[in-house]
């Protein structure tokens, strides 16, 4: 079991380019697993964690409803935003500057073969990260992701999640709003959930700019502890 995870900080990178890169890494791991099975080889499978910010983009998961995108192509162009239908779970979400996006491309055979546990660990890494800023974040039953003030009229989502897995290899991941422009969420029904607000770390901390790099470091620390991973 290879618990080493290669961390790559991609900076600000186009969504489609990053998606293509994820697919490339994902396929390479799958190909290795198939080779191991067919040839009874024992080749070690690698793991990756991509950290990235995207220019303005909306993505719709495979089970999502296009009606949750509230703007047309012309309006998207005016907002300098792109739109893609993609192959993860979940509905529609927004990515943009000031949002920390993490894409773990892991062979869960190296860790544990339980997708439910995998999603809960991703949420827990975010919950522990936000706790370092004095925020009590939590899960909302039946709604993947990380929320504040669950069960109250003020419930608001701070981190969206959507993943894909095949033969225990994962891709896609989580998007944590740090300094994101929340106005872009007005153009969608986030995750297809009506009547729920969206927030960001800087809003919760009184509109002060938060260091994305600092949040990244905290998230990595909690990720490595939960997954017992060694970053390389």
Query: What digits encode the pLDDT tens for the residues 126-162?
Result: 999 999 999 999 999 888 899 999 989 899 999 999 9
Given a contact cutoff of 8 angstroms between Cβ atoms, the answer to whether 59 and 138 are in contact is no
Map out the domains of the chain with their CATH numbers: 4-225 (3.30.930.10)
* pLDDT of res. 193: 61
Which is catalytic among the residues 155, 191, 210, 219? 191
The percent helix, strand, coil of the chain (3-state, each to 5) is: 35, 30, 35
Average pLDDT estimate for 17-45: 94
Instruction: Report the alpha-carbon distance of residue 155 to residue 175 in Å, rounded.
Output: 18
Question: Does the structure show a pLDDT above 80 at 21?
Answer: yes
Polymer length of the chain: 232
Question: Does the structure show a pLDDT above 70 at 121?
Answer: yes
CB neighbour list of residue 8: distance below 8 Å, 6 or more residues apart? 48, 49, 50, 51
The band of 195, judged by pLDDT with boundaries at 50, 70 and 90, is low
Q: Transcribe 8-20 into DSSP letters.
A: EEEEE--HHHHHH
Q: Is there a binding annotation on residue 151? A: no
Query: What digits encode the pLDDT tens for the residues 72-107?
Result: 889 999 999 999 998 887 788 899 999 999 999 999
Question: Does the structure show a pLDDT above 70 at 191?
Answer: no
Q: Is 191 tagged catalytic?
A: yes
Q: Is there a binding annotation on residue 88? A: yes
Q: Is there a binding annotation on residue 160? A: yes
Q: Is there a binding annotation on residue 164? A: no
Q: Is there a binding annotation on residue 1? A: no
* pLDDT of res. 58: 94
Structure token digits, residue 152: 């109250």
């Amino acid at each position: 079991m290879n618990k080493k995870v290669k961390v790559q900080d991609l900076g600000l990178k186009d969504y489609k380019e990053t998606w293509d890169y994820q697919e490339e890494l994902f396929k390479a791991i799958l190909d290795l697993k198939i080779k191991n099975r067919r040839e009874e080889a024992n080749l070690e499978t690698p793991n990756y964690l991509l950290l990235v910010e995207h220019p303005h983009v909306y993505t719709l998961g495979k089970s999502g409803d296009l009606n949750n995108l509230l703007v047309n192509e012309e309006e998207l162009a005016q907002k300098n935003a792109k739109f893609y239908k993609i192959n993860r779970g979940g509905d529609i979400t927004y990515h943009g500057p000031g949002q920390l996006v993490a894409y773990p491309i892991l062979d869960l055979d190296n860790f544990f073969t339980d997708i439910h546990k995998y999603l809960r660990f991703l949420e827990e890494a975010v919950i522990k990260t936000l706790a370092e800023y004095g925020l009590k974040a939590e899960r909302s039953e039946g709604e993947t992701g990380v929320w504040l003030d669950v069960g109250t009229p003020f419930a608001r989502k701070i981190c969206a999640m959507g993943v894909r897995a095949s033969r225990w290899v994962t891709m896609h991941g989580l998007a944590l709003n740090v300094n994101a422009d929340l106005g872009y969420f007005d153009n969608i029904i986030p995750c297809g959930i009506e009547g729920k607000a969206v927030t960001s770390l800087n809003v919760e901390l009184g509109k002060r700019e938060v260091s994305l790099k600092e949040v990244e470091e905290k998230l990595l620390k909690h990720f490595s502890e939960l997954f017992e991973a060694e970053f390389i």
